[in-house]
Amino acid sequence: MASLALSFPPAAAKTPSYLSSSSSTFFSSSLSFTTSQSHSRNSVFASITQGRESIAAKLVANLITEAGADRVLACDLHSGQSMGYFDIPVDHVYCQPVILDYLASKSIAAEDLVVVSPDVGGVARARAFAKKLSDAPLAIVDKRRSGHNVAEVMNLIGDVRGKVAVMVDDMIDTAGTIVKGAALLHQEGAREVYACCTHAVFSPPAIERLSGGLLQEVIVTNTLPVAEKNYFPQLTILSVANLLGETIWRVHDDSSVSSIFL
């Protein structure tokens, strides 16, 4: 069991200059301690970071390594920086080709398509997706998150009027972001709205929201198993088996993995 020992100087001891109230901004902001003289500056730092916030990804990386794995194959990590937590090689693959192939089979006219990022953080993902769809135009949903798993849509950047909007994200959790984004797209004149994601987390009340009629189709992959009780008419589940099989073969053959996505 890991332990943390803290020692404090005697009350009569003189406080070192680097811990004085006039220069304790870093320490008080990171440990959530404040003093009367540095409170205003600390409040600014507190809005950027939160003290003692766990980094569970590092723990998971250590658990996988200690369990005996010597290489990791990951699909659409929520944060690419998570690869840096591993001390063993990591192959990061994207399920984008699987979804792109399915959309191509729907024969939607290229001039009718617009790819939509559900938030500013997903712009790079949506832009890469749009380039593969005949360099389709891009729109961005600007939202403000008021709490964990709670999203508030504010406005739309881009033109979707008369278009088939394809929203792209790495996962759908409670579906608040996707559904509110779909509602905004319809308000802005979108003809149809599709939602595409890799990981179908589907935490309650996601099913009720997604099956409410705002989305023409919800396209996900089977990186996470979806229970049959969570099926609904608009849901399409695509298999990533061929993609993972090809990647594993290339890793063992010491061939290029990134060329799959070119």
Distance CA 232, CA 209 (A): 11
**Cβ within 8 Å of residue 29, ≥6 positions away:** 41, 42, 45, 46, 49, 51
pLDDT score, position 15 = 40
Distance CA 153, CA 216 (A): 20
pLDDT score, position 107 = 86
209-222 pLDDT, tens per residue? 999 999 999 999 99
pLDDT at 257 over 70: yes
Q: Where are the beta strands (DSSP E) in 190-253?
A: 192-200, 217-221, 235-238
Instruction: Please give the C-alpha separations between residue 3 and each of 9, 54, 124, in angstroms, as whole numbers.
Output: 20, 15, 41
Are 112 and 79 in contact, with CB atoms under 8 Å apart?
A: no
Average pLDDT of the chain?
82
CA-wise closest residue to 27 among 10, 49, 11: 49
Q: Facing residues of 139 across strands? A: 116
165-204 pLDDT, tens per residue? 999 999 999 999 999 999 999 999 999 999 999 999 999 9
Strands 138-147 and 150-157: antiparallel
pLDDT score, position 146 = 65
pLDDT score, position 149 = 63
Listed by start position, the domains of the chain span 17-46, 55-93, 96-244
Tokens representing 254?
């010491």
Regarding pTM above 0.85, the answer is no
pLDDT at 110 over 70: yes
Look at the domain 96-244 and name its fold: Rossmann fold (3.40.50)
Tokens representing 154?
């504010």
2-17 pLDDT, tens per residue? 444 444 444 444 444 4
In the numeric block, the tokens 């990647």 are attached to 247
Instruction: Please give the C-alpha separations between residue 130 and each of 40, 137, 235, in angstroms, as whole numbers.
Output: 44, 7, 22
Tell me which amino acid residue 174 is: T
Peptide bond into 205 cis (omega under 30): yes
Query: Helix, strand, coil % (nearest 5) of the chain?
Result: 40, 20, 40
